[in-house]
Structure 1
Amino acid sequence: MTKVPNRLIHEISPYLLQHAYNPVDWFPWSEEAFQKAREEDKPIFLSIGYSTCHWCHVMEKESFLNEEVARLLNQNFVSIKVDREERPDIDSIYMDACQFLTGGGGWPLTIVMTPEKKPFFADTYIPLTSGFGKIGLLEFLSKIKEVWSSQRQDVLKASEELTTFMESIHKPTPSPEPDKEIIPELFNELRNTFDSLHGGFGPAPKFPFPINHLFLLRYWKIFHEPTALNMVTKTLKKIRMGGVYDHLGSGFHRYATDLAWRVPHFEKMIYDQALLILAYAEAYHATQEPLFKNTVEDMYGFILNDMTHPEGGFYTAIDADSDGEEGSYYLWTQKEIQKILSDDEIAYFNEAYSIRPEGNYFDASNGKKNQKNLLFLDKPLQTLIEEKEWDKDIVLKTITNALKKLIEARNQRNHPFLDTTILVGWNGLMIAALARASRIISIPGAQKTASAAADFILNHMKTPEGGLWHRYQANQADVPAILDDYAFFIWGLIELYQATFKSSYLIEADQLMRYTLEHFWDKDYHGFYLSADFTDSLPFRKKEFYDGVTPSGNSVAFLDLILLNRFFSDFFYQQKSKEMAKAFFNNLKTYPTAHLFFGMGLLYEFGHGAEVIIAGDLQSKATQEIIEILNHEYHPQLLLLYAPSSVQEKNLPHLNFYYPIDGKPTLYFCQNYQCQPGINDIEKIKNRVKIL
């Protein structure tokens, strides 16, 4: 029987195309769908997910391929499918509705709303049939039909009240000037939720939350608090040992379902890789722990080989599923391993990675072992070697050979689906991470890869008006960018400038920030809306304040404004950052750990930052030696600027006042808007950098 496609066949989103042959009469988010709902007096059934989402796949197979579900939806609803990665602005609004109505959220996101886009029901995954206290989709659709017919006024009133409430909370209450006491409060909140046994914060499921580590590293550096550093190093070591890390191919899975980081949810998201590269690189910078450096190097290799577009730019995600099963690509039976490894390799490898005949992997769907094994280290390999009194050189060589054999065997399996969409915002995070890491660790090609990604976006994803497109897929850039795209990419350009000293990146960052202020800034309550002022398909414009697995667009934009003020000596940016600090400080006081990236920006405002201007021939050996000195010491709040010696830098004219002294490359240190006389003696420079 020939399958008949629905409207989604004309889309380019991988997620929407996955549903193009469902019997459900799906619409993309469009005026056509809402007009049909109004004309036929039907509620909207809105389903939001993304291409690498495991439970989205499950719900499609169970329900959206089911003819009875399709019949109920097609007769009684107008059904809309949205890719949350294509339209994060839509997803953000309705995820709020789900959290307000149910106390939780996630994907797939299921919303029922009026033709005017106002929600009155929300849930996440809904099984096909009812059971174990949860309503099934078949029963649910019938009940919604009845409610829509018999209790219409109650439904309309509830949807109106919910929408009004959601819109109102995005108007922050201005506060007095932020006070410095908030910084220790942020630290204490993290300390109170720290898992001292396994590392990380809070109960399972456990996310790595790299933002926590970036804040803690700065807190340790500024306030000399050893507990802050210990929380970072313990957590990063534990998650590197656990099954949440891919010990064969590198890269981190999205989160762990258990406390000990052993059992992952197997998706790999580009934003997780970016922020974890940054966290591990900075942790290495602070501690010189070789494991952290090796992790960054391995992750870069994985990103370059598996998640990078040939022309530059980074892909979005790798699916959790392959061959219709979550995690099957990463799991091994003991018999499979025995066919691949020698007896000597098996002896060491099975002990090191906890390989068991009965399996060590608990299937999250039923909580049982299924004879499958996932690679994780129960204890550091060095500790195991010492306990067993093994020959270190022999064991390390043997295990290295075993890992090579297993990755070669795994490469023959059916690979999980790769979502090749390029999203500006998540690319901005990776550009920032690789640019910063390239200054800390000498990774061949990392700086070039970051530059190629930035150039790809600037060449292929800018609009004629000077803005950005959100998404690149199928050789096409489209969908207007949201705040996160601008804020994250601007941050990436700022970090890339400090790695390359190409002023064009800083100029682009400045121009994009001015565009963002023009089209996203809230003139009444301050801060930035998630969507631009020319976006007209949403029920309202919202703001996002809270940092989650990625920082909020407002948190990063706040940091961008502070940094651009320091780079350009532009007090317009300073004014905007101060307005943001006052607008969001009450939120920060109420939910401290949900604003840690914002707290990193406040560290600059409270005087914990500095700039250094390098004047001299950038290609000279002496200048490069000075740059190496600056990059060697861990000073995460130090900004680097470069003033050319031979030709005036017309793009950054305020740097023309800084010049080499006596023909030698010279450093000018600035702090709290005051610059000291230049110094060019290497020993004095070393001593000055140490006491920053």
Structure 2
Amino acid sequence: MTTNNIVNRLSKEKSPYLLQHQYNPVDWFPWGEEAFEKAKQENKPVFLSIGYSTCHWCHVMAHESFEDQTIADMLNKDFISIKVDREERPDIDHIYMAVCQAMTGQGGWPLTVFLTPEKKPFFAGTYFPRSRKYNRAGMVEVVAQLAGKWREDADRVREVGEQIIQETTNRLLEHQSGGELTEESLHEAFRLYESTFDPEFGGFGSAPKFPTSHNLSFLLRYYKKTGNERALEMVEKTLDAMHRGGMYDHIGFGFSRYSVDSEWLVPHFEKMLYDNALLLMTYTEAYQVTGKAKYADVAEQIITYIRRDMTDVGGAFYSAEDADSEGEEGKFYVWTPDEVELVLGIDEGDLFSELFDITESGNFEGHNIPNLIQTTLASVAKRKQIPLDQLKQRMEEDRAKLFEHREKRIHPGKDDKILTAWNGLMVAALSKAARALDKPAYAEAAAKAADFLLRELRREDGRLLARYRDGEAAFPGYVDDYAFLVWGLIELYETTFELRYLREAVQLNAEMLRLFGDEEKGGLFFYGSDAEQLLTRPKEIYDGAMPSGNAAAALNMQRLARLTYDAKLSQAADEQLQAFAGAVASYPPGHALMLAALDFAYSEASEIVIAGDPAKPETQNMLRTVQRQFLPNALLILHPPGEEGEEVRKLIPLVQDKMPLGGRATAYVCHNFACQAPTQDLEDLENLSNIR
């Protein structure tokens, strides 16, 4: 995105998104007091543009408007222009997105907001073309009209901004109504999920369809709790359909952000770290519940993609890959039959194209997104009279050849910044996969990422930071950073049993409560008391593409309180559920992770202690017996001998009297505050631990 060789202020930033605009003729400022002071001194309104580096329509608007000299001249003359990366500053994005939704009834990116010099919004929208089209006002007319209104009556514009902020503040706070949640909310959520379920293609509602894997994870817990087969059917139908569709990259693995159609065929091609982390968790859990190898296969393929393409040399994970390459959305990912034949030969190419729906007419703008919506390996094997195992091996060899060929194409842009929150989710996902699939390498990858975050994304005083790139960590961490990293550290402890990760989780959780807690109404604010104080201080409870930090914190606190016997933390965990009870009860399906926390709270407490030397095979066999099961509401603890065991007893009091018997590894299964007789038999352990 270049129009000249002169860089603007954004050239000094670390954000890949801001750097994409460093050559724009627009006189951009990063968010900061310098910009707003200049706006006040010159009595100019502010043009605020918020987006992210892999956003397709952000690229379109940049090319049409921000690279256009005419629009740049208009903005430079009458406005102070500010660019914000929503992934670096979700606090700013959160507030002004709420403004846009309140004013227009919708939101999205790019987010376009016009502000007074006091940061108060008076006009908002999303994508604007250069000139009027698609029944949308154009930037040329919008900028001219708003500049005129400011010149004519700036005081009136300020009054409008004041009213909008008041309405937005009320809107952001209206969801917090306390009370008591009951298990009925779990059943109501199930009924509402069922009512919106798409029986043909899976998922919920109509196009566009997002994976929202936390909804599926809730349904797996509901199935575990109730034995209701319909919950499992909805999960499997959706997971199968998403994987068969074009939203899944059948050549290089990993999931795109969402599908623009109801059958999961055409994705919005960007790949986000958080989506793949959450989907990795859900496919792993589906494997634990069903034992079906296909879910383990998808989980391992996601990990292959993440470790191959999205892992920094230091072990942490990059944020996203773009939808566009060479200026075209999806160009990197699509094929023609001729291209496939060129790589595989005619006969093998025809077979691969038949299986993956690659045709002359195409299924996406004259090209083809590989998918398995209408075909399966089994159906093609039967039709071609090829043994299924042989066909599977051939198709994998063909896929590898096509992948190598695709690697020579011009790749989409990669946003290589490291976000604490999204990395916390991937640490959690890899830890779960390491346990369920018995793959120590996955635990090593999770530990390496966690160590990077704990080392590089904390200030000297211990304050967690939100973003790392090019040697610089910046921005005080948000509630999601704390909550998701604590989640990851708890999962990592239950995988590696390295006590330091649990200690870090306890410490970070305490700091989160101090920095983000609302002593008056309960719950956690989105940004900390020590961060830049914006127009209002919101709380997020609704699960969108990612679950809310408040919900993750509720589940974390339930788990940590039960592990540490900390009465104050137990009270805080209960208060966290109560703080948002009204919102959750009003629409349970919008709060899947909070429902998981509620399920944990209402389930009879279960703890499994393995007392034994972790270096001995008998101890490892016991741990693996438990780890491969789907036990979302149980806690697994290793009580080793010696000094290490003493340290465990200090942090986790419930292991005090649980020792190896006769020098052999011994399992203690406690359920509903009563412990069963200790056992050294693996079959007994499996039966005792696998409880609803």
Q: Classify the secondary structure of the residue corresponding to 2:614.
A: coil
Query: Aligned partners of 1:513, 1:249: CA distance in 2, in Å?
Result: 37
1:136-164 C-alpha deviation (Å, 9 max, x unpaired): 00011011112223343443222212212
Comparing 156-165 with 119-128, which one deviates more in the overlay? 156-165
Query: Which of 580, 586, 591 is equivalent to 2:582?
Result: 586
2:647 is equivalent to residue 650 of structure 1: yes
Comparing 221-230 with 680-689, which one deviates more in the overlay? 680-689
Asked if 2 retains the 8 angstrom alpha-carbon contact of 1:284 and 1:292, the reply is yes
Asked if 1 retains the 8 angstrom alpha-carbon contact of 2:603 and 2:633, the reply is no
Pairing of 1:16-165 with structure 2 (within 5 A): 16-165=18-167
The aligned residue for residue 356 of structure 2 is 353
The aligned residue for residue 210 of structure 1 is 213
The aligned residue for residue 526 of structure 2 is 530
How many pairs does the alignment contain?
A: 684
Structure 1 spans left out of the alignment, 5+ residues: 362-368
The aligned residue for residue 465 of structure 1 is 461
Cα separation, partners in 2 of 1:387 and 1:153, compared to 1, 3 Å: farther
Asked if 1 retains the 8 angstrom alpha-carbon contact of 2:91 and 2:526, the reply is yes
**Identity, % of aligned pairs?**
43
2:292 is equivalent to residue 271 of structure 1: no
Asked if 1 retains the 8 angstrom alpha-carbon contact of 2:541 and 2:550, the reply is yes
Query: Aligned partners of 1:196, 1:2: CA distance in 2, in Å?
Result: 53
Query: Which of 192, 196, 203 is equivalent to 1:193?
Result: 196
TM-score by length of 1: 0.96
Query: Which of 365, 370, 376 is equivalent to 1:375?
Result: 370
2:427 is equivalent to residue 453 of structure 1: no
Asked if 1 retains the 8 angstrom alpha-carbon contact of 2:612 and 2:641, the reply is yes
Query: Aligned partners of 2:674, 2:565: CA distance in 1, in Å?
Result: 11
1:675 to partner: Cα distance = 4.0
1:41 to partner: Cα distance = 1.4
Asked if 2 retains the 8 angstrom alpha-carbon contact of 1:603 and 1:609, the reply is no
1:411-441 C-alpha deviation (Å, 9 max, x unpaired): 1111111111110000000000000111001
The aligned residue for residue 666 of structure 2 is 666
Comparing 672-681 with 83-92, which one deviates more in the overlay? 672-681
TM-score by length of 2: 0.96
RMSD between aligned residues:
1.6
1:234-271 C-alpha deviation (Å, 9 max, x unpaired): 11111111100000110001111111100011000000
Query: Aligned partners of 1:292, 1:393: CA distance in 2, in Å?
Result: 18
The aligned residue for residue 364 of structure 1 is none
2:546 is equivalent to residue 547 of structure 1: no
1:610-651 C-alpha deviation (Å, 9 max, x unpaired): 221221111212111111211233222221112222334325
1:371-407 C-alpha deviation (Å, 9 max, x unpaired): x111011232213333554443443343223212211
Asked if 2 retains the 8 angstrom alpha-carbon contact of 1:222 and 1:608, the reply is no
Query: Aligned partners of 1:613, 1:50: CA distance in 2, in Å?
Result: 45
Query: Aligned partners of 1:248, 1:2: CA distance in 2, in Å?
Result: 38
Asked if 2 retains the 8 angstrom alpha-carbon contact of 1:470 and 1:478, the reply is yes
Q: Classify the secondary structure of the residue corresponding to 1:649.
A: helix
Pairing of 1:193-342 with structure 2 (within 5 A): 193-342=196-345
Aligned AA (1:574)? S
Comparing 217-226 with 349-358, which one deviates more in the overlay? 349-358
1:65-119 C-alpha deviation (Å, 9 max, x unpaired): 0011001101111100000111111111111111111111111110111111111
Aligned AA (1:687)? N
Q: Classify the secondary structure of the residue corresponding to 2:520.
A: coil
Q: Classify the secondary structure of the residue corresponding to 1:244.
A: coil
Asked if 1 retains the 8 angstrom alpha-carbon contact of 2:254 and 2:276, the reply is yes
Comparing 551-560 with 463-472, which one deviates more in the overlay? 463-472
Query: Aligned partners of 1:23, 1:657: CA distance in 2, in Å?
Result: 70
2:397 is equivalent to residue 401 of structure 1: yes
1:633-683 C-alpha deviation (Å, 9 max, x unpaired): 322222111222233432541233322223222222233444445333444
Asked if 2 retains the 8 angstrom alpha-carbon contact of 1:167 and 1:540, the reply is yes
Aligned AA (2:368)? N
1:13 to partner: Cα distance = 0.9
The aligned residue for residue 617 of structure 2 is 621
Query: Aligned partners of 1:385, 1:394: CA distance in 2, in Å?
Result: 9
Q: Classify the secondary structure of the residue corresponding to 2:656.
A: helix
Aligned AA (1:650)? E
Query: Aligned partners of 2:401, 2:485: CA distance in 1, in Å?
Result: 39
Aligned AA (1:15)? Y
After the TM superposition, list the runs of 4 or more consecutive aligned residues in structure 1 that deviate by more than 6 angstroms: none
Structure 2 spans left out of the alignment, 5+ residues: none
Asked if 2 retains the 8 angstrom alpha-carbon contact of 1:568 and 1:652, the reply is no
2:511 is equivalent to residue 509 of structure 1: no
Query: Aligned partners of 2:462, 2:62: CA distance in 1, in Å?
Result: 39
Asked if 2 retains the 8 angstrom alpha-carbon contact of 1:110 and 1:122, the reply is yes
1:603 to partner: Cα distance = 0.5
The aligned residue for residue 380 of structure 2 is 384
Aligned AA (2:288)? H
Asked if 2 retains the 8 angstrom alpha-carbon contact of 1:466 and 1:515, the reply is no
Asked if 2 retains the 8 angstrom alpha-carbon contact of 1:297 and 1:443, the reply is no
